[in-house]
Structure 1
Amino acid sequence: MKKKIIYFGLIILIGALLVPCMLSLPRLWNYEGSPDSWVGFWGSLLGSLLGVIGAYLVMSVQLQSDKETARLKEKKSERPYFFINSLNKKSISFEFYNYNHSLLNYTDIYFYFNDIKINTERYSLGHIKSDKIQLVEIKKNSKPDLIAIKSQTLSGENILFIDGNYNGNGITNTFTFSPKGIINVYTGPDDYHQFNDIIAKITGINLEKKKH
């Protein structure tokens, strides 16, 4: 869009320079009309041209804005909201829903016990469907201190849900994250930085250097 605005400015400048240049050229054929009338003619022609270009730019900006709004709306409609139905030392039962009642792809669930950096279990669930209860057995036969679910929506957003306790801090948050380390919280409090090492461990992103 910036390039289009620059081109529009160049056209105005060239048009403003072109009119007097054309009027100063020697006559190649006989024509009637005073210089003032020809200035009016070329000015009207240039004004019409600029009006068309301006309308095109306005329409392009509006279409781009509408497209971005629709894209963001679609992203939000795919974002999951997780619910833990039960959690004990043997299993976890959970489900999620989103506005489109669709799927989550590449879903992994993590269990952390006591010393979170060492005692970990991970299970790949693949594709899971909205509004359907998921039951996962815990091999360690011990109730996890913290669970995390990492997945991807159909619109391509990376999702991370964390629930539990770590270093005396509790958390129940859902994030979107990107490979560049940009984290956005869409459920739960925005103060997640005490969990940066856990988030970095799961996502592979060094959040300490990429807070925002």
Structure 2
Amino acid sequence: HENLSDNLIKITNELQAHGDDTVVVSWLPQYHDMGLIGSYLGVLFCGGSGYYMSPLTFLQNTTLWIEAISKFHGTHLQAPNFAFRLTARKFNASLYRNSSEDDNSKQSLDLSSVRHIINAAEPVTETSINSFFDTFSKYGLKEDVMFPTYGLAEHTVFVCSGGKQRLTVSKDTLETYGIVKELDGSIADNDENISRLIGCGYPSKQNVDVKIINTETLEQ
């Protein structure tokens, strides 16, 4: 209980989620730590409001998540990396399928209330981030609201966030030797030998230490 309370304090402080102006709109399963703690208990802890749908509903009607964010003026969102690219793809596909009347309803979307988006639970990719903002920035979504984040259940959930760093590295060197060889960031995106690594920010300033240890030599 003490670990949970401590982690919730870290989460609400890092996300600036305080009081009734915090609105979470989530489809995350509550058997997963990001769903249970990040999107559910976090709301109870900070005194905000939460609107929830099942993961199955999200997969069956992905654009419903975006519509709910607009309807309930969501401020804080959490999802794994794949969800952002999937949501953008499904939303764009729906624009082609639907009638002009439905298209007009899409144009009325307002995502300007969103203040903080956690992208976590799996490797974060530049492609997923870019596709999400390319699709939804025209509906008021601000480009500085997504924060790649790292957490693990062994640490309750939250470890670090605020990732804005992007490294351009050699894909071959990374995959073959496990070595990060940084390249010029201006290299064209269509170069097959490059990979973009997305940073997950820095550990919480509240008593969180992160150490990278060589599992063979135990050297830090």
Query: If the TM-score is normalised by the length of the shorter chain, which range does it land in?
Result: under 0.3
Higher RCO structure (Cα 8 Å, ≥6 apart): 2
TM-score by length of 2: 0.24
TM-score by length of 1: 0.25
Which structure carries more helix by proportion? 2
- Larger-Rg structure: 1
Which structure carries more strand by proportion? 1
